[in-house]
Structure 1
């Protein structure tokens, strides 16, 4: 049950990111009644006047983003079992995250990973992290709950359906 709660919040973040980009993929349609009325209230509010939207768990004006339980450092990789999890990476506004992102950007793009900027002071610093990430989507989101559930103390880190790795 714990695993379900951990990844439900990640999937909600990825869903919000996907919904904002209009990337709906229908895997199978067996007819029936539409479920749209159940999801209409979840649509993110359209943003105005922002060239770099901050869609996700936190919206524009929600800075600073702080994850007090996480700091830059070494992460010991380990296996997990989270089938269906979209790859997610956690980074902050620090030199270790910058180096990690620049070194792994191609791999992260290949995985279509979504980034969470978990320690960032301002929208300007978020824009800098997004520059490091290239074409990867990066959302400002605190991650203390996720860190506690996964036993994480440090970042940058990549979460995939099968592993936690740095």
Structure 2
């Protein structure tokens, strides 16, 4: 596993690509209060333009939170590189978001999940 301050190498992750999350699509996520004490802030993004824009606009805040990222919709290593380039310094892993979507009754991304709520 890479050091926490080093982004995962997309070439080493080719075996998990493509990643598709059937329960999630790009869209608007209304703010919602959650009670998830102890979780590390987590964000979900895809390779779509809205996710890349959201990620680049929120990169510093996500770093400040020490948030971890999941690329829940990414076709290939090039797409993962684009996602990582939008937020240098953040760890973003290609993983299906279907389980999280089901548990949190979430239908869209990009989104930040904190111990106290969902934010976009």
Q: Same fold (TM over 0.5)?
A: yes
- CA displacement 1:36-57 (0-9 Å, x = unmatched): xxxxxxxxxxxxxxx81578xx
Aligned residues: 118
Q: How does 1:72-151 map to 2 (within 5 A)?
A: 72-151=26-105
Q: Any idea what the Cα deviations from partners look like across 1:108-131, whole Å, max 9, x if unmatched?
A: 010011110000000121011000
| Structure 2: unaligned runs, 5 residues or longer | none
* Structure number with higher strand proportion: 2
Preserved contact between residue 54 and residue 140 of structure 1 (Cα < 8 Å): no
1:165 paired residue number: 119
Query: Once the 2 structures are TM-superposed, how far is the Cα of residue 83 of structure 1 from its aligned partner?
Result: 1.2
Structure 1 vs Structure 2 CA RMSD:
2.0
Q: 1:127 to 1:22 in 2, by over 3 A?
A: closer
* Residue number among 20, 24, 30 corresponding to 1:66 in the alignment: 20
Asked which structure has the greater RCO (Cα within 8 Å, sep 6+), the reply is 2
Q: How far does the alpha carbon of each residue in 1:90-109 deviate from its partner, in whole angstroms, 9 at most, with x for none?
A: 00000110110111111101
Larger Rg: 1
**5+ residue gaps in structure 1?**
1-18, 24-50
- The 4+ residue runs of structure 1 with deviation greater than 6 A are none
Give the SS at the match of 2:70: strand
